[in-house]
Amino acid sequence: MPRMASSIPDEVMMNAALIKELADVAKDEALLQGVLMRTKETPNSSELVTYAPFTLFPSPVPKPVFHQALAVQTHFNTMVDKISQDTDFLQEALTSTIEVDDFTARLFKIHQQILKEGKSQSIVLGLNRSDYMLDQKDEKTSSLKQIEINTIAASFGGLSSRTPDVHRHILKVCGRLEESRQILANNPAAGLARALAKAWELYASERAVVLFLVEEVQRNIFDHRYIESELWKRNIPSVRKRFDEVYEKGSLDPDKRLFVDGKEVAVVYFRDGYMPQNYINEQCWDVRLMMERSRAVKCPDISTHLAGTKKVQQVLTRPGVLERFFPERPEVVQQIRATFAGLYTLDVGPEGDNTVAMALAEPDRFVLKPQREGGGNNIYGSEIVRVLGAVKESTERTAYILMDKINPAPVQNYLLRRDAPLVISNCLSELGVFGAYVRQGEHMVMNECVGHLLRTKSSEHEDGGVAAGVAVLDNPLLV
């Protein structure tokens, strides 16, 4: 496989003493810049913290594909928003999935109840992240391929605002001044907060708060804190609550205003609730429904959450479907479609049967994806044969989609991670682009691309993100 050159010459990469020294400097710089996580041992206390794992050097990313990813983001924002308003489309796209996937079915049931009652809030807030890999068939060509779009709890907007300075510093220390100047400014935290602030302003109640709905285990708290801190700079109060706390202390008044702990909530920002295991009991589902029924602005609301499912992603790749959302904009359809990888239905019927046969014949060409967020769920290689073999004759197969496997060229780097040996690794990167939009009724108030995230992992790991403990934070060095 062609190796995309590291951005750093071999005499630096292979100098063990220098690398050790640079790694020590890098860790201190990460702490100075606030690239932080709590420890596994004490995930809910900030008495002990460590650096969030990151690469020693920035990774090369071809300039054209980087700019392509940024340029298409506002169109993805628009598309997600349009899908969320298209009830017939969501119903059609998800029918087969909700029959076999309990989690999606529960979310869909809430969606139906809200439709029946009527939405009590016309303000919509979307903070999403579209993730890509580079498909590099040979040295010359690399094409941008979308892995997925995250419409709920898209993370690392905070920490990725702080990593550019770390890599700038490392490059200076090892004498690469020119490269250090090429590290891009990046501040997703500010952009995400700007959209939250806009939704809060439109809600128009000065004493109301932004509620961060957070998980039980909060190792990644500093990622949230950067966004909170941007809100506090604007004198917008924020509170952090878990599902159980909202269950105990939350209520709706006769006007459907949401109160938690006596405070009116203007915006609910979900940093939890994206995986089945987040709903540990029925009370969590009751809380989700109560928040959806409320007048608070939800980020995301239930239909936007559903718009981010893998099944919807697969349906969008079918001929003529994008045109439904951009009827007068063939150039936008083209821009979006250019990023799509091959996606195949596993619905019952001849088309799905073909997909099964194709996957079983050449499993290494594909990835099998369940309807799940949060990383670490995908199925590869011989596992595909095992899993699909077991469900190929039943409707259970419709809980998955099949996707072409993307082949990025590995780059050499050092992954800095607490308690891990300092060794050179063949690495693969994934580029995320943050989008933020606010709509009030028919009017799009804000629609922006607000920054990027590069995550890198050793090529021996097929799947998994930073929070899942596999990928580390990185910066693109445009080449």
Where are the alpha helices (H) located in 174-242, listed in sequence order? 177-182, 188-203, 221-233
Was 377 annotated as part of a binding site?
yes
Q: Is 466 annotated as a binding residue?
A: yes
354 belongs to an annotated ligand binding site: no
353 is in an annotated binding site: no
Answer yes or no: is 404 a known binding residue. Answer: yes
Return d(Cα 84, Cα 104) in angstroms, integer: 15
Is 335 annotated to bind a ligand? Reply is: no
The answer on whether 447 is annotated among ligand-binding residues is: no
Annotated catalytic, 175? no
Q: What are phi and psi of 168, to 5 degrees?
A: -60, -45
Which one of 198, 242, 288, 310 is the catalytic residue?
310
Tokens of 443: 């009017």
Report residue 120 as tokens: 């009590």
For residue 379, the SS3 value is: strand
Residue 54 near residue 163, CB atoms below 8 Å:
yes
Q: Which SS3 state, helix, strand or coil, does residue 338 take?
A: coil
- Our answer to whether residue 148 is catalytic in this structure is yes
Q: Tell me if 66 sits within 8 A of 132, measured CB to CB.
A: no
Please tell me whether 219 is known to bind a ligand: yes
Residue bearing tokens 């119903």: 91
- Which is the catalytic residue, given 215, 228, 230, 373? 373
Is residue 15 annotated as involved in ligand binding?
no
Give the burial class of 139: count Cβ atoms within 10 A of its Cβ; 0-12 exposed, 13-18 middle, 19 or more buried: exposed
With CA atoms as reference, report the closest residue to 341 among 398, 389, 401: 401
Active site annotation includes 465: no
Of 129, 241, 295, 439, the catalytic one is 129
User: Does 241 carry a binding-site annotation?
Assistant: no
Catalytic, out of 228, 455, 465, 475: 455
Is residue 272 marked as binding?
A: yes
369 known member of a binding site = yes
The answer on whether 220 is annotated among ligand-binding residues is: yes
- Which residues does residue 474 pair with via DSSP β-bridges, in sequence order? 454
Q: Is 250 labeled as catalytic in the residue annotation?
A: no
Tokens of 231: 């809100």
Catalytic residue among 77, 150, 303, 413: 150
| Strand spans (E) along 138-182 | 143-150
Instruction: Tell me whether residue 106 is annotated as binding.
Output: no
Q: Which of 29, 148, 230, 292 is catalytic?
A: 148
> Do the annotations mark residue 271 as ligand-binding?
yes
463 has binding-site annotation: yes
Cβ atoms within 10 Å of 97's Cβ, excluding its own: 26
- To the question of whether residue 380 is assigned a binding role by annotation, the answer is yes
User: 310 a known binding residue?
Assistant: yes
Instruction: Given the residues 155, 294, 303, 429, select the one marked as catalytic.
Output: 155
- How far is CA 260 from its chain centroid? 27
- For residue 300, whether the previous peptide bond is cis, meaning omega lies within 30 degrees of 0, is yes
Distance CA 366, CA 360 (A): 10
The answer to the question of whether 373 is labelled as a binding residue is yes
Q: Is 439 annotated as a binding residue?
A: no
Q: Catalytic residue, from 241, 369, 397, 439: name it.
A: 369
**Does the annotation list 138 as a binding residue?**
no
Helix H or strand E segment including 1: none
Q: How far apart are CA 81 and CA 189, in angstroms?
A: 21
Q: Is 148 annotated as a binding residue?
A: yes
The verdict on whether 447 is a catalytic residue reads no
Indicate the DSSP class of residue 341.
P
Other Cβ atoms closer than 10 A to 348:
15
One of 250, 374, 432, 451 is an active-site residue; which one? Answer: 374
Do the annotations mark residue 406 as ligand-binding?
yes
Active site residue 310: yes
CB-based contact 435:129 (threshold 8 Å): yes
DSSP alpha helix (H) spans, 101-147: 102-117
CB 374 within 8 A of CB 467: yes
Helix (H) / strand (E) containing 134: strand 123-135
Q: Is 34 annotated as a binding residue?
A: no
Reply yes or no on whether 374 is catalytic: yes
Looking up tokens 């700079």 gives 233
Binding site for Mg(2+), residues? Answer: 148, 150, 373
Binding site for ATP, residues? Answer: 148, 310, 369-378, 380, 403-406, 430, 457, 463
Which positions are catalytic?
129, 148, 150, 155, 310, 369, 373-374, 455
Binding site, residues? Answer: 129, 148, 150, 152-155, 218-220, 271-274, 310, 369-378, 380, 403-406, 430, 455, 457, 463, 466-467
Binding site for substrate, residues? Answer: 129, 152-155, 218-220, 271-274, 455, 466-467
